[in-house]
Amino acid sequence: MPWIRIDLSEGRTVEQKQKTAEAVTQALVEHCGCTRESVSIVFNDVSDDNWAFSGKLLSQRVKP
């Protein structure tokens, strides 16, 4: 029973998450021999204040 956790910056739409869930589920069915019913996916929306790269919070980085 695959359990997948996907961490994303906040801001993705429900439609984007639905399409991602479908694609990830299909990939596991095709490549790992899982059943669709056995695949569990959790989306974790992370705010820019709670995610850092190279010692800088995303909320503090200059965006192009």
- What is d(CA 57, CA 36) in angstroms, rounded to the nearest whole number? 37
Q: What is the DSSP letter of 54?
A: T
Q: Which residue has the tokens 């980085």?
A: 61
**Which of the residues are catalytic?**
2
Phi, psi at residue 6, to the nearest 5°?
-120, 115
